[in-house]
A = this chain, B = another copy of it.
């Protein structure tokens, strides 16, 4: 489990409350590590008990009080140790790929609108990434180490979305061809 470490990185980059972390996880960080507010609150309490992070109650006007967390030295040490451990293999769950193979036993045409929706959301995400790059990294020749590393991760996201868009176009072409060929006859007759 590395939710602790993702939270630590986020708090090192910028202290914040559980609620703020949950929103970060919905936005930038959530692109490579998702978490709900429930997970975050639970892990924050554990991390505070372990001394990894320090909490400070902050009163707000017009809003409920919040507990602002920041990374403590033991947390930083734990993060450095984790950095040196080998990454465990990622558990992949690519539902769309399963559906594409499943389409062979049903109607390939039934998947087209679904893949199109997918394509639109990836196109929107790519646009958001590119916009964020313009905003956060206007001058690529003047980045410090932290920004360099943030930017190389962002470049990964951008390239992933570009690749995915091209692949989804490939998938759509294939599905449309099969839906055309299969019109008027049972798919099983040809398999």
Give the interface of A toward B (CB within 8 A). Answer: 2, 5-6, 8-9, 12-13, 30-34, 76, 79-80, 82-84, 86-88, 90-108, 110-111, 114, 117-118, 144-146, 148-150, 152-153, 155-156, 159-160, 162-163, 166-167, 170-171, 174, 177-178, 181-182, 187, 190-191
Query: Which of B32, B98, B101, B181 interacts with A97 by CB under 8 Å?
Result: B32
Task: Give bound CA distance, A163 to B79, whole Å.
Answer: 28
In the bound complex, do residue A101 and residue B150 qualify as a contact, i.e. CB atoms below 8 Å apart?
yes
What's the nearest-Cβ distance from chain B to residue A53, in Å?
14
A107: chain B residues within 8 A (beta carbon): 80
In the bound complex, do residue A103 and residue B166 qualify as a contact, i.e. CB atoms below 8 Å apart?
no
Copies in the complex: 2
In the bound complex, do residue B159 and residue A91 qualify as a contact, i.e. CB atoms below 8 Å apart?
no
A163: chain B residues within 8 A (beta carbon): 159-160, 162-163
Task: Give bound CA distance, A103 to B34, whole Å.
Answer: 20
Which residue of chain B has the shortest Cβ distance to A71 in the bound complex?
B105
- Given A76-B106, A145-B190, 14 further pairs, Cβ under 8 A: A8-B102, A9-B105, A30-B92, A33-B95, A87-B118, A91-B93, A100-B152, A100-B153, A104-B146, A104-B150, A144-B191, A148-B174, A156-B170, A160-B167
In the bound complex, do residue B152 and residue A159 qualify as a contact, i.e. CB atoms below 8 Å apart?
no
A160: chain B residues within 8 A (beta carbon): 163, 167
Contacts A145-B190, A187-B145, A191-B145 given; does A83 touch B111 at CB 8 Å: yes
Contacts A93-B33, A163-B159, A191-B144 given; does A103 touch B83 at CB 8 Å: yes
Query: Which of B83, B86, B102, B187 interacts with A79 by CB under 8 Å?
Result: B102
